[in-house]
Copies of this chain bind each other. A is one copy, B any other.
Amino acid sequence: MKKQYQDEITNAIKACQKIDGINHIYFAACGGSMAFMQPAEYIINRECDIPATILPSREFTTRDPHDLGEHSVVVTCSHSGSTPETNEAAKFAKEKGALTIGIAFTPDSDLEKNSDYTLHYSWGKGTDASDLNTGVLYGFIFGLLKAVTGDAKYDKGLKALDDLEAIAERTRQQFGDTTKKWTSELKREKLIYAIGSGINLGETYSFSACWLQEMQWINSSCIDSAEYFHGPFEITDFDVPFIICEGMGVTRKMDQRAADFAKKHSDKVYVIDNADFDMHEIDDDFKEYYSQILSGVVFRQLAEGFSYERGHSLEARRYMWHLDY
Protein backbone atom coordinates (compact mmCIF):
# COMPACT_ATOMS: atom_id res chain seq x y z
CA MET A 1 0.00 0.00 0.00
CA LYS A 2 1.19 3.49 -0.87
CA LYS A 3 2.80 5.38 1.98
CA GLN A 4 0.28 8.24 1.62
CA TYR A 5 -2.61 5.84 2.21
CA GLN A 6 -0.86 4.17 5.13
CA ASP A 7 -0.27 7.56 6.73
CA GLU A 8 -3.89 8.62 6.23
CA ILE A 9 -5.07 5.38 7.87
CA THR A 10 -2.67 5.83 10.78
CA ASN A 11 -3.92 9.37 11.41
CA ALA A 12 -7.58 8.35 11.28
CA ILE A 13 -6.98 5.48 13.71
CA LYS A 14 -5.10 7.81 16.10
CA ALA A 15 -8.13 10.12 16.05
CA CYS A 16 -10.42 7.18 16.86
CA GLN A 17 -8.17 6.25 19.77
CA LYS A 18 -8.52 9.75 21.23
CA ILE A 19 -12.26 9.14 21.69
CA ASP A 20 -12.86 8.07 25.27
CA GLY A 21 -14.91 4.96 24.46
CA ILE A 22 -16.35 4.75 20.95
CA ASN A 23 -20.10 4.20 21.40
CA HIS A 24 -21.02 3.37 17.78
CA ILE A 25 -19.40 3.23 14.35
CA TYR A 26 -21.78 4.22 11.56
CA PHE A 27 -21.09 3.61 7.90
CA ALA A 28 -23.11 5.78 5.51
CA ALA A 29 -22.90 5.91 1.73
CA CYS A 30 -24.92 5.22 -1.43
CA GLY A 31 -25.08 2.33 -3.90
CA GLY A 32 -21.73 0.67 -4.65
CA SER A 33 -19.95 2.87 -2.11
CA MET A 34 -22.28 1.62 0.61
CA ALA A 35 -22.06 -1.98 -0.57
CA PHE A 36 -18.27 -2.01 -0.47
CA MET A 37 -18.35 -0.94 3.23
CA GLN A 38 -20.81 -3.67 4.29
CA PRO A 39 -17.97 -6.09 5.15
CA ALA A 40 -16.57 -3.49 7.57
CA GLU A 41 -19.81 -3.48 9.56
CA TYR A 42 -19.81 -7.27 9.48
CA ILE A 43 -16.18 -7.63 10.59
CA ILE A 44 -16.51 -5.13 13.44
CA ASN A 45 -19.67 -6.82 14.74
CA ARG A 46 -17.88 -10.18 14.69
CA GLU A 47 -14.56 -9.03 16.13
CA CYS A 48 -15.22 -6.43 18.82
CA ASP A 49 -17.83 -4.98 21.16
CA ILE A 50 -18.28 -1.62 19.43
CA PRO A 51 -21.73 -1.51 17.80
CA ALA A 52 -21.58 -0.97 14.05
CA THR A 53 -24.39 -0.01 11.70
CA ILE A 54 -24.43 0.57 7.96
CA LEU A 55 -27.12 2.70 6.30
CA PRO A 56 -27.77 4.40 2.96
CA SER A 57 -26.72 8.04 3.45
CA ARG A 58 -30.23 9.50 3.61
CA GLU A 59 -31.52 6.69 5.80
CA PHE A 60 -28.73 7.76 8.15
CA THR A 61 -29.52 11.49 8.18
CA THR A 62 -33.31 11.12 8.25
CA ARG A 63 -33.06 8.51 11.01
CA ASP A 64 -30.88 10.82 13.08
CA PRO A 65 -29.69 8.08 15.45
CA HIS A 66 -30.20 9.00 19.10
CA ASP A 67 -26.73 7.85 20.18
CA LEU A 68 -24.88 9.79 17.47
CA GLY A 69 -22.51 12.23 19.13
CA GLU A 70 -18.98 12.96 20.29
CA HIS A 71 -18.30 9.33 21.04
CA SER A 72 -19.30 8.17 17.57
CA VAL A 73 -17.27 7.51 14.44
CA VAL A 74 -19.00 8.00 11.10
CA VAL A 75 -17.31 6.56 8.02
CA THR A 76 -18.63 7.73 4.66
CA CYS A 77 -17.56 6.96 1.10
CA SER A 78 -18.05 8.53 -2.30
CA HIS A 79 -15.81 7.76 -5.29
CA SER A 80 -16.00 11.31 -6.63
CA GLY A 81 -16.41 12.76 -3.16
CA SER A 82 -19.32 14.76 -4.58
CA THR A 83 -22.38 12.56 -3.87
CA PRO A 84 -24.82 15.08 -2.30
CA GLU A 85 -26.51 12.60 0.08
CA THR A 86 -23.15 11.40 1.42
CA ASN A 87 -21.83 14.92 1.90
CA GLU A 88 -25.03 15.70 3.81
CA ALA A 89 -24.39 12.66 6.00
CA ALA A 90 -20.79 13.72 6.74
CA LYS A 91 -21.85 17.29 7.54
CA PHE A 92 -24.71 16.08 9.71
CA ALA A 93 -22.42 13.74 11.64
CA LYS A 94 -19.85 16.51 12.15
CA GLU A 95 -22.52 18.86 13.50
CA LYS A 96 -23.46 16.16 16.01
CA GLY A 97 -19.85 16.09 17.16
CA ALA A 98 -18.93 12.72 15.68
CA LEU A 99 -15.50 11.95 14.27
CA THR A 100 -15.98 11.83 10.50
CA ILE A 101 -13.83 9.81 8.16
CA GLY A 102 -14.46 10.10 4.42
CA ILE A 103 -13.23 7.57 1.89
CA ALA A 104 -12.79 9.00 -1.62
CA PHE A 105 -10.89 8.50 -4.85
CA THR A 106 -10.88 12.13 -6.01
CA PRO A 107 -8.49 14.44 -4.15
CA ASP A 108 -9.72 17.72 -2.62
CA SER A 109 -13.36 16.74 -2.94
CA ASP A 110 -16.34 18.11 -1.05
CA LEU A 111 -16.31 14.97 1.05
CA GLU A 112 -12.76 15.78 2.09
CA LYS A 113 -13.88 19.26 3.18
CA ASN A 114 -16.80 17.78 5.10
CA SER A 115 -14.73 15.10 6.87
CA ASP A 116 -12.24 15.32 9.73
CA TYR A 117 -10.05 12.71 8.05
CA THR A 118 -9.94 11.39 4.51
CA LEU A 119 -8.75 8.03 3.29
CA HIS A 120 -7.88 8.20 -0.39
CA TYR A 121 -7.60 5.24 -2.72
CA SER A 122 -6.50 4.52 -6.27
CA TRP A 123 -8.66 3.25 -9.14
CA GLY A 124 -8.39 1.82 -12.63
CA LYS A 125 -6.61 -1.04 -14.39
CA GLY A 126 -3.11 -1.72 -13.15
CA THR A 127 -3.83 -0.49 -9.62
CA ASP A 128 -2.42 -2.72 -6.89
CA ALA A 129 -5.36 -4.31 -5.03
CA SER A 130 -4.11 -2.95 -1.70
CA ASP A 131 -4.49 0.60 -3.05
CA LEU A 132 -8.08 0.08 -4.21
CA ASN A 133 -11.04 1.11 -2.03
CA THR A 134 -11.36 -2.29 -0.33
CA GLY A 135 -7.61 -2.52 0.32
CA VAL A 136 -7.67 0.85 2.05
CA LEU A 137 -10.87 -0.01 3.96
CA TYR A 138 -9.36 -3.28 5.22
CA GLY A 139 -6.15 -1.48 6.19
CA PHE A 140 -8.25 0.89 8.27
CA ILE A 141 -10.55 -1.75 9.81
CA PHE A 142 -7.85 -4.24 10.79
CA GLY A 143 -5.64 -1.38 12.03
CA LEU A 144 -8.53 -0.03 14.10
CA LEU A 145 -9.31 -3.48 15.50
CA LYS A 146 -5.68 -3.89 16.51
CA ALA A 147 -5.72 -0.49 18.21
CA VAL A 148 -9.02 -1.11 19.97
CA THR A 149 -8.51 -4.72 21.08
CA GLY A 150 -4.74 -4.75 21.41
CA ASP A 151 -4.72 -8.12 19.65
CA ALA A 152 -1.66 -8.65 17.47
CA LYS A 153 -3.52 -11.18 15.30
CA TYR A 154 -4.79 -8.31 13.16
CA ASP A 155 -1.25 -7.89 11.84
CA LYS A 156 -1.97 -11.06 9.86
CA GLY A 157 -5.05 -9.40 8.42
CA LEU A 158 -2.95 -6.40 7.44
CA LYS A 159 -0.15 -8.55 6.02
CA ALA A 160 -2.61 -10.17 3.63
CA LEU A 161 -2.86 -6.83 1.80
CA ASP A 162 0.67 -7.39 0.48
CA ASP A 163 -0.45 -10.54 -1.34
CA LEU A 164 -3.88 -9.31 -2.38
CA GLU A 165 -2.94 -8.22 -5.90
CA ALA A 166 -1.35 -11.61 -6.72
CA ILE A 167 -4.37 -13.42 -5.29
CA ALA A 168 -6.85 -11.22 -7.16
CA GLU A 169 -4.95 -11.70 -10.44
CA ARG A 170 -4.86 -15.46 -9.90
CA THR A 171 -8.65 -15.41 -9.37
CA ARG A 172 -9.11 -13.37 -12.55
CA GLN A 173 -7.17 -15.99 -14.52
CA GLN A 174 -9.05 -18.83 -12.86
CA PHE A 175 -12.52 -17.49 -13.58
CA GLY A 176 -11.91 -15.86 -16.99
CA ASP A 177 -13.28 -18.69 -19.15
CA THR A 178 -16.02 -19.60 -16.68
CA THR A 179 -17.48 -16.10 -16.51
CA LYS A 180 -17.35 -15.81 -20.33
CA LYS A 181 -19.35 -19.02 -20.66
CA TRP A 182 -21.89 -17.99 -18.00
CA THR A 183 -22.57 -14.58 -19.52
CA SER A 184 -22.89 -16.08 -22.99
CA GLU A 185 -25.57 -18.43 -21.66
CA LEU A 186 -27.36 -15.73 -19.66
CA LYS A 187 -27.17 -12.85 -22.14
CA ARG A 188 -30.84 -13.00 -23.21
CA GLU A 189 -32.22 -13.01 -19.67
CA LYS A 190 -34.40 -10.06 -18.61
CA LEU A 191 -34.21 -10.89 -14.91
CA ILE A 192 -31.40 -12.44 -12.89
CA TYR A 193 -31.51 -13.01 -9.14
CA ALA A 194 -28.33 -12.70 -7.06
CA ILE A 195 -28.01 -14.65 -3.81
CA GLY A 196 -25.38 -14.26 -1.11
CA SER A 197 -24.93 -13.71 2.61
CA GLY A 198 -22.61 -12.73 5.44
CA ILE A 199 -19.33 -11.21 4.29
CA ASN A 200 -20.48 -11.49 0.64
CA LEU A 201 -23.72 -9.56 1.06
CA GLY A 202 -22.30 -6.19 0.01
CA GLU A 203 -20.74 -7.53 -3.18
CA THR A 204 -23.90 -9.49 -4.00
CA TYR A 205 -26.00 -6.37 -3.56
CA SER A 206 -23.55 -4.38 -5.66
CA PHE A 207 -23.73 -6.97 -8.44
CA SER A 208 -27.52 -6.85 -8.40
CA ALA A 209 -28.09 -3.08 -8.03
CA CYS A 210 -25.04 -1.61 -9.78
CA TRP A 211 -23.74 -4.13 -12.29
CA LEU A 212 -27.06 -5.61 -13.41
CA GLN A 213 -29.74 -2.95 -12.81
CA GLU A 214 -27.68 0.19 -13.33
CA MET A 215 -25.07 -0.83 -15.87
CA GLN A 216 -26.88 -3.55 -17.84
CA TRP A 217 -30.56 -2.57 -17.29
CA ILE A 218 -31.26 -6.17 -16.32
CA ASN A 219 -33.96 -6.59 -13.68
CA SER A 220 -32.58 -8.06 -10.50
CA SER A 221 -32.94 -8.48 -6.77
CA CYS A 222 -30.36 -9.34 -4.13
CA ILE A 223 -31.61 -12.15 -1.89
CA ASP A 224 -29.94 -13.05 1.41
CA SER A 225 -29.37 -16.83 1.53
CA ALA A 226 -30.82 -16.69 5.05
CA GLU A 227 -34.05 -15.30 3.61
CA TYR A 228 -34.37 -17.36 0.42
CA PHE A 229 -36.54 -20.07 2.01
CA HIS A 230 -38.77 -17.54 3.74
CA GLY A 231 -40.52 -16.09 0.71
CA PRO A 232 -38.36 -15.57 -2.37
CA PHE A 233 -37.74 -19.26 -3.13
CA GLU A 234 -41.34 -19.67 -4.34
CA ILE A 235 -40.43 -17.76 -7.54
CA THR A 236 -37.85 -20.46 -8.37
CA ASP A 237 -38.71 -22.34 -11.57
CA PHE A 238 -36.85 -24.16 -14.35
CA ASP A 239 -36.26 -20.96 -16.32
CA VAL A 240 -35.48 -18.50 -13.50
CA PRO A 241 -31.76 -17.62 -13.39
CA PHE A 242 -29.79 -17.30 -10.17
CA ILE A 243 -26.18 -16.31 -9.62
CA ILE A 244 -25.23 -17.53 -6.16
CA CYS A 245 -22.21 -16.53 -4.14
CA GLU A 246 -21.34 -19.50 -1.95
CA GLY A 247 -19.11 -18.41 0.93
CA MET A 248 -16.18 -20.42 2.29
CA GLY A 249 -16.71 -19.54 5.95
CA VAL A 250 -19.46 -19.56 8.57
CA THR A 251 -22.28 -18.95 6.09
CA ARG A 252 -21.21 -21.71 3.69
CA LYS A 253 -23.81 -24.27 4.79
CA MET A 254 -26.59 -21.71 4.49
CA ASP A 255 -25.46 -20.62 1.02
CA GLN A 256 -25.08 -24.24 -0.09
CA ARG A 257 -28.61 -25.04 1.06
CA ALA A 258 -29.96 -22.24 -1.13
CA ALA A 259 -27.77 -23.31 -4.07
CA ASP A 260 -28.76 -26.98 -3.72
CA PHE A 261 -32.44 -26.13 -3.75
CA ALA A 262 -32.15 -23.66 -6.61
CA LYS A 263 -30.17 -26.18 -8.72
CA LYS A 264 -32.86 -28.79 -8.14
CA HIS A 265 -35.65 -26.56 -9.42
CA SER A 266 -33.99 -24.24 -11.93
CA ASP A 267 -31.83 -25.08 -14.97
CA LYS A 268 -30.07 -21.73 -14.72
CA VAL A 269 -28.10 -21.70 -11.50
CA TYR A 270 -24.55 -20.38 -11.52
CA VAL A 271 -22.47 -20.69 -8.35
CA ILE A 272 -19.40 -18.64 -7.47
CA ASP A 273 -17.91 -21.10 -5.02
CA ASN A 274 -15.57 -19.23 -2.69
CA ALA A 275 -13.97 -22.55 -1.72
CA ASP A 276 -12.42 -22.53 -5.20
CA PHE A 277 -10.43 -19.39 -4.38
CA ASP A 278 -6.74 -20.06 -3.77
CA MET A 279 -5.85 -17.84 -0.81
CA HIS A 280 -2.97 -19.89 0.55
CA GLU A 281 -0.92 -16.77 1.34
CA ILE A 282 -3.58 -15.55 3.79
CA ASP A 283 -3.79 -16.70 7.41
CA ASP A 284 -6.79 -18.97 8.06
CA ASP A 285 -8.38 -16.47 10.46
CA PHE A 286 -8.67 -13.92 7.67
CA LYS A 287 -9.51 -16.01 4.59
CA GLU A 288 -13.26 -15.53 4.96
CA TYR A 289 -12.94 -11.77 5.34
CA TYR A 290 -10.81 -11.57 2.19
CA SER A 291 -12.96 -13.97 0.17
CA GLN A 292 -15.56 -11.28 -0.59
CA ILE A 293 -12.91 -9.21 -2.38
CA LEU A 294 -12.40 -12.16 -4.72
CA SER A 295 -16.16 -12.59 -5.13
CA GLY A 296 -16.06 -8.96 -6.25
CA VAL A 297 -13.36 -9.80 -8.80
CA VAL A 298 -15.60 -12.51 -10.29
CA PHE A 299 -18.73 -10.30 -10.19
CA ARG A 300 -16.80 -7.66 -12.15
CA GLN A 301 -15.76 -10.28 -14.73
CA LEU A 302 -19.43 -11.25 -15.06
CA ALA A 303 -20.36 -7.60 -15.59
CA GLU A 304 -17.68 -7.25 -18.27
CA GLY A 305 -18.89 -10.49 -19.84
CA PHE A 306 -22.48 -9.25 -19.94
CA SER A 307 -21.35 -5.96 -21.41
CA TYR A 308 -19.45 -7.74 -24.21
CA GLU A 309 -22.11 -10.38 -24.94
CA ARG A 310 -24.95 -7.85 -24.92
CA GLY A 311 -23.11 -5.01 -26.64
CA HIS A 312 -24.19 -2.86 -23.73
CA SER A 313 -21.40 -0.65 -22.44
CA LEU A 314 -20.90 -0.49 -18.68
CA GLU A 315 -20.82 3.29 -19.19
CA ALA A 316 -24.32 3.45 -20.76
CA ARG A 317 -26.86 5.35 -18.68
CA ARG A 318 -30.42 6.47 -19.41
CA TYR A 319 -30.69 8.94 -16.56
CA MET A 320 -27.50 9.25 -14.51
CA TRP A 321 -25.23 12.04 -15.80
CA HIS A 322 -27.91 13.11 -18.33
CA LEU A 323 -30.76 14.45 -16.23
CA ASP A 324 -31.29 16.47 -13.10
CA TYR A 325 -33.24 14.48 -10.51
- A residues engaging B (CB < 8 A)? 23-24, 30-32, 34, 42, 45-51, 53, 55-59, 62-67, 85, 191, 197-198, 208-210, 213-215, 217-222, 224-227, 229-237, 250-251, 254, 257, 261, 265, 317-320, 325
Contact = CB atoms under 8 A, between A and B. Distances in A.
A209 B230 contact: yes
Contact of A226 (B56, B217, B232, B261): B56
A48 B30 contact: no
A34 to B, nearest CB: 8
Contact of A56 (B65, B217, B224): B224
Given A62-B197, A219-B221, A219-B235, 6 more contacts: A51-B53, A59-B197, A233-B325, A236-B318, A236-B319, A261-B319
Contact of A232 (B85, B197, B214, B230): B214
Max count, chain B CB within 10 A of own CB: residue among A30, A222, A232, A251: A232
Contacts of A233: 214, 319-320, 325
A319 B66 CA distance: 43
Contact of A59 (B64, B226, B231): B226
A227 B49 contact: no
B224 A59 contact: yes
7 contacts: A34-B227, A45-B66, A46-B66, A58-B226, A85-B226, A209-B231, A214-B234
Contact of A49 (B67, B319, B320): B67
Contacts of A232: 209, 213-214
B251 A62 contact: yes
A64 B46 contact: yes
A217 to B, nearest CB: 6
Contacts of A217: 234-235
B213 A30 contact: no
A131 to B, nearest CB: 24
Contact of A319 (B191, B251, B265): B265
Contacts of A318: 234, 236-237
The 10 residue pairs across chains A and B that have the minimum distance between CB atoms: A31-B230, A221-B221, A51-B51, A56-B226, A209-B231, A214-B231, A30-B230, A49-B67, A58-B226, A62-B250
A23 B45 CA distance: 13
Contacts of A237: 318
B62 A198 contact: yes
Contacts of A65: 45-46
Given A51-B51, A235-B213, A254-B62, A325 B230 contact: no
